[in-house]
Amino acid sequence: MWETRVSVNDAEAIERSLSDGVAFAGVFDRHYSAIHRFLSGRVGPDLADDLSSETFAVAFRRRATYNLLREDARPWLFGIAANLLRDHRRSEERRLRAYSRAGTGLVESEEVGPRLEGPVALALLALSVEERNLILLYAWGELSYEQLAEAFSLPVGTVRSRLFRIRDKLRARLALPEAAVVGGEPL
């Protein structure tokens, strides 16, 4: 049986998992909580459990196609998770509408992670699914521009310009001053 070592990167773990499936556990252990936190903020903790598990099941099934030149599997995993979210778009939109009626902002819980309420939920609801995925992966998933580009198979410049436009849309929708921030950068 293969043991997880701290010095093994995701690409090495995935490559080893092709002959010993247990090696994939290192990838799971490193990234499950981040994937779950992102999904929980989007669809709630119960569905996030299912979607997180499905994300890793899909990744495990597709591991033979993983680009081993990429040491960090997080963008790949977030891309899979974002694709799974697409299947749940209707329920997400219903949830955002309900949150908009329930409160006034973004609530952070240690157990669940971020959850949208009030005007923020409505502002995100006004975005396309792809725009929501991009801004929330940037803010909650803490992916860099380069990692977002990898997750969505886009050029980095396209990611930068889309995030700029999304921030403008959110700022206008929320009537926020220029100084408002999301993900550590001005909204």
What tens digit of pLDDT does each residue of 94-107 get?
766 676 666 544 44
Is 123 strand, coil or helix?
Answer: helix
Residue 8 near residue 30 (C-beta atoms within 8 A): no
pTM of the model: 0.61
pLDDT of the residue at 129: 81
3-state secondary structure 14-82: HHHHCCCHHHHHHHHHHHHHHHHHHHHHHHCHHHHHHHHHHHHHHHHHHHHHCCCCCCCCHHHHHHHHH
Q: Which residues of 25-58 are buried (b: 16+ CB within 10 A; e: fewer)?
A: ebbbebbeebbbbbbbbbbebebbeebbeebbee
Distance of CA 25 to the CA centre of its chain: 20
Pick the CATH number of 10-186 from 1.10.10.10, 3.40.50.20, 3.10.129.10, 1.20.120.1200: 1.10.10.10
Domain definitions of the chain by residue range: 10-186
User: pLDDT confidence of 5, banded at 50, 70, 90?
Assistant: very low
- The pLDDT tens digits of the residues spanning 110-156 come to 444 455 556 777 788 888 888 988 998 898 888 899 999 998 889 99
Which run of H or of E encompasses 109?
strand 106-109
